[in-house]
Structure 1
Amino acid sequence: MKRFYKTVETAAAEGGFTLTLDGKPVCTPAKLPLIVPTQALADAMAAEWAAQGDEVKPATMPLTQLASTSIDGVRDRLDAVAEASAVYGESELVCYRAVEPDELIQRQASLWNPLLDWAARRYDAHLLVTSGIMHKPQPADALKALRAAVDQLDEWHLTALQNAIGITGSLLVSLALVDRHVSAEQAFELAQLDENYQIEKWGEDWEAADRRAVQRADLAHTVRFLDLLR
């Protein structure tokens, strides 16, 4: 859409901070007040709006998109979003290992086992590892512990978790990211371990490279969103 405003400012609002365009408060796509919990996040979102040219391009405003998702799509659906996120624990990516070659098996163990150890310490969630792609049920206590961890998140952090899961396909990697146990780059490398191995052996086509670049950037935006919530 065409840019329809000249000035972008932040302002205190009930429950947090908001943006104004030419003095008028910004709303989410669902027409709800765009109020975020920290001044830092409001300032960063204002910078996104101020940086727009003649055309306003929502895809270039990831922080605004994440905040809007929190308000429109997560706040009133906490239980449903938590359930949809926690269910990834039932088929957790890092629990499914290659049967060959040995080099890949060893790399998976080296990078993924520490994450499983962290989950056991952090959440008392002891997940089982299997070789191959056949589904292996996880202990009920472990899944319950992971669900409890997800349930502790407010709408802002749950939005970040949901976004990270969509990129990585892993509940543990995403929880570690939200908990700041791993960086965005580390999370990407953990989630892309198998693909990275294949690229080393066979190379990478341009479509895959573009897709991975977008995913890496999206994870970085997610971490920045988390940082700005502090």
Structure 2
Amino acid sequence: MTSAAANNAMRRKWKTVTVAPSSADPSRSGPALDGKLVKLPSGSELAVSSPALAQALADEWAAIAPDAPLTPADLPLTRITGNRLDRIAPHMDGTRAALFKYGIDDALSYHSDKQPPEALGKALKWADGQGLRPTPTEGLMPVEQPDDYKRRLTRILESKNPDELATLGVLAPALGSLLIPLALLDGAITPAEAISLGTADERAQLAEWGHDDELAKRIKDNEQDVHDALKYHQLTTRN
């Protein structure tokens, strides 16, 4: 069996990558290495209902060079899909609770001149249209959010399916916000605007204090996470 959990200790030894049906549910399919479906840490198969996603997962594994080591960065869709299957779908309430915390202490609540004003205005206009009006602050300490805001945020999260929660589970930590990802997925802001809002403080710090390798890498990694999550979202919403 091929375990996705052990991918950081693996090298490519397989010769072929195909898309194969799940033995447990033939309506689902996933990447098969030399005919064997990839296994998740839980022992279940990496198999999905979306043919487009199944093919994209197989393409990730096929892109690994012969005898090359595998890293999580090589398999972003595998990582997101694995989390969706092993962690999110079986624990929907816990996932929603974790995402809710990002909305309660949301980057959009902290107003500063570091944030790009046009993108901020679009995101806040979208939030207002949803009845989401977080209490703003110009300080550094979290502020108590209104009960109505909490109720509306809870209802939005309750409406999300496992694929949408998996997407938000990558976007929220990458952007330090729940509202920014929600506005992004609703088309109110572009990916570039979302990234500029979510990384405004880090970019301002680089501009003020000069280059910092660790901080620059964090910004780059967060940007890549946003693009990976959006690719997953597009594949799981494709008709």
- TM bucket, shorter chain: 0.7 to 0.9
Deviations 1:93-136 (A, max 9, x none): 111124xxxxx27x555432321220121x32122212212332
Match of 1:213 among 198, 201, 220: 220
Q: Secondary structure at the match of 1:26?
A: strand
Q: 1:44 to 1:93 in 2, by over 3 A?
A: same
For residue 81 of structure 2, what is the aligned residue in structure 1?
Answer: 67
* Match status 1:5 vs 2:19: no
SS in 1 for 2:39: coil
Distance in 1, Cα, partners of 2:203 & 2:69: 35
Structure 1 residues 181 and 9: CA distance shift in structure 2, 3 A: farther
Structure 1 residue 25: Cα displacement: 2.0
Asked whether the equivalents of residues 119 and 194 of structure 2 are also in contact (C-alpha less than 8 Å), the reply is no
Say whether the 8 Å CA contact 1:85–1:165 is kept in structure 2. yes
Residue pair 1:157, 1:178 contacting (<8 A) in 2 also: no
What residue is the counterpart of 2:68 in the other structure? Answer: 55
Q: Residues of 1 paired with 2:218 and 2:142: CA distance?
A: 27
SS at match of 2:13: coil
Distance 2:35 2:168 in 1: 33
Residue identity over aligned pairs, in percent, reads 30
Give a deviation string over 1:201-228, Cα, whole Å, max 9, x none. Answer: 4432222222211211121111111111
Matched, 1:45 2:57: yes
What do the CA deviations read for 1:174-212 (whole angstroms, capped 9, x no partner)?
222333433332221111122323333443222222221
1:65 Cα shift?
A: 0.8
Question: Which of 16, 29, 39 in structure 2 is aligned with 1:17?
Answer: 29
CA distance in 2, matches of 1:176, 1:75: 23
Report if the CA contact (8 A) 2:202-2:219 is conserved.
no
Provide the C-alpha distance between the structure 1 equivalents of 2:152 and 2:48, rounded to a whole number of angstroms.
Answer: 29
Aligned to 2:4: none
Q: CA deviation at 1:12?
A: 4.1
Matching residue of 1:156: 163
- Is 1:116 the counterpart of 2:128? The answer is no
Task: State the TM-score, normalizing by the size of structure 2.
Answer: 0.85
Please report how far the alpha carbon of residue 61 of structure 1 lies from its aligned counterpart in structure 2 after TM superposition: 0.6
Cα distance in 2 for partners of 1:196, 1:3 equals 37
Unaligned runs of 5+ in 2: 1-9
Cα separation, partners in 2 of 1:63 and 1:204, compared to 1, 3 Å: same
Deviations 1:11-62 (A, max 9, x none): 3443432222212222212211211231111111111111112134141110
Matched residue count: 223
Contact 1:160 1:178 in 2 (8 A): no
Structure 1: runs of 5 or more not aligned: 99-103
Q: Structure 2: how far apart are the matches of 1:65 and 1:191?
A: 22
Residue type of the alignment partner of 1:132: G
8 Å CA contact 2:170, 2:229 repeated in 1: yes
Q: Do the aligned partners of 2:39 and 2:46 also contact (CA within 8 Å) in 1?
A: yes
